[in-house]
Structure 1
Amino acid sequence: MYLEILNSIQLQEQGSVISPKRTKVLLIVLGFALVFAFGLLCTLGILYNNKLGDFESLNEKHIMVSKQLSVHAINSTIMKKEFKDLTARYNTLREWLSFYDAQSCNLSVDGWIACRGKLYLFNSDKLNWSSSRDVCVSKGADLVTITNQTEQDFVTSKVKETHWIGLNDLDTEGHWLWVNNQPLNSLEFWMKRNDEISEPDNWTKVHPDGEDCASLGHPTGNTDFWTDAYCFEEKRFVCEAVAAI
């Protein structure tokens, strides 16, 4: 546009004299063109500055996020170390308590072992279930009732072969009761088998009355679980009484 105006002015200077009115129009057009060009340059400058500002703001945000991630990483490392330390302290405390508990459960008087407010007597004589219970009752006790994992672990840790416990379903088949008439709850330690029926299986091939009395372990195996057995079988047994305060 500028070249056309300049060329027109040069041609008119060379060929003829330009009229004042035409010259005024050309100057006005040239002025508008310059204003437009200046405005365009200003707009481009503003856009550039805005983009530059956005870039700097984005860079600052990136730096801030990087710092925050670094702080989180440090905090995570500290928390992992604290958790590891707490776990180690817990394991140490648990081992100490287990040791103390084991020691306290080995205090025996006249063959009885005091443990957690109860007295236990591990009888070496072998009797049937009913006679075993009679012996316990004559001593002011009864056959042992096992109500938690800790007691199960304690009792089984003291026996090397099967022992009678105070659990039976003599009155109603499948309805197991402790000698204190409390029903067997969800906490139970019956022997589990993968390919066969698990205990209690009420085996009737040896005797038609089936197996109605519970014992620790199996005559030929581990003692960490319960099995149902014929009540007339002769086994060792565990008596339990409340410890005197």
Structure 2
Amino acid sequence: YLLSTRDDSWENGRKDCGDQGADLVIIDSLEEQKFLSNFTTSRSWIGLSDKDIEGTWKWIDGTPLTAAYWYRDANIVEPNNEGGGSTVEEDCAEIEPKPNPQYSWNDLSCNTALQWICEKLA
């Protein structure tokens, strides 16, 4: 895994990963989710989006989302496609450092500048 040292859009983060022979991370187990939620201390892009069809979340390799770790509390349930009153779609997913790593994903505008996590497959 590689955590970026700068912030940029989801697309530019993905391009940066590709330049290093990797791609945005695909989280495919609870163990990996727990590890990555402790790996970063900042909000970071992961390789998940619903850019093709709103509400249909897919990983960058085209596999559909099966196990999800969206944030939720008494007032908020993610993904909510809610851009703080703006009309911008929230089509990309980030992982946030949260006390409970099983509820740490959020949907966000893909143009938001965040760090990102790259994964290089062996």
Same fold (TM over 0.5): yes
Looking at structure 1, the residues matched to 47 and 90 of structure 2 have their Cα atoms a distance apart, in angstroms, of 14
Deviations along 1:204-235, whole A, 9 cap, x unmatched?
A: 44431321100001xxx627310001111000
The 10-residue stretch of structure 1 (171-180 or 204-213) with the greater mean CA deviation from structure 2: 204-213
Structure-2 separation of matches of 1:203 and 1:147: 26
C-alpha distance 174-138 of structure 1, shift in aligned 2 (>3 A): same
Gaps of 5+ in 1: 1-119
Q: Which amino acid aligns with 1:230?
A: S
Going by fraction, where is helix more abundant, 1 or 2? 1
> Aligned pair 1:175/2:51, yes or no?
no
Q: CA deviation at 1:197?
A: 3.8
Name the residue aligned to 2:72.
192
Work out the number of aligned pairs and report it: 119
Partners of 1:169 and 1:124 lie apart in 2 by 26
Which residue identity lines up with residue 23 of structure 2 in the other structure? Answer: D
* Alignment match, 1:95: none
Matched, 1:161 2:37: no
Rounded to whole Å, the distance in 2 between the matches of 1:209 and 1:172 is: 15
Tell me the secondary structure at the aligned position of residue 242 of structure 1.
coil
Q: Tell me the CA shift for residue 141 of structure 1.
A: 0.8
Equivalent position to 1:236, from 95, 115, 118: 115
Runs (4 or more) in structure 1 with deviation over 3 Å come to 204-207
Q: How far is 1:161 from its partner?
A: 1.3
- Partners of 2:85 and 2:21 lie apart in 1 by 34
Residue 222 (str. 1) matches residue 98 (str. 2)? yes
In the alignment, is residue 125 of structure 1 matched against residue 11 of structure 2? no
2:69 and 2:91 map into 1 onto residues whose CA distance is: 16
**8 A Cα contact 2:26 2:46, kept in partner:** yes
2:22 counterpart letter in structure 1: A
Question: For structure 2, which runs of at least 5 residues remain unmatched after alignment?
Answer: none
Distance 2:49 2:21 in 1: 20
Q: 1:213 aligns with which of 92, 113, 118?
A: 92
Alignment partner of 1:135 is 2:11? no
Give the alignment's Cα RMSD to 1 decimal: 1.5
> Relative contact order (alpha carbons < 8 A, sep ≥ 6): 1 or 2 greater?
2
d(CA) in 1 for partners of 2:7, 2:90: 18
Report the counterpart of residue 55 of structure 1 in structure 2. Answer: none
Secondary structure (helix, strand or coil) at the match of 2:54 reads coil
Instruction: For 1:130 and 1:236, locate their aligned partners in 2 and report how far apart those are by CA, in whole Å.
Output: 12
Within 5 A, what are the aligned runs for 1:22-101?
none
User: SS in structure 1 opposite 2:98?
Assistant: coil
Could you state the TM-score of these two structures normalised by the residue count of structure 2?
0.91
**Higher Rg:** 1
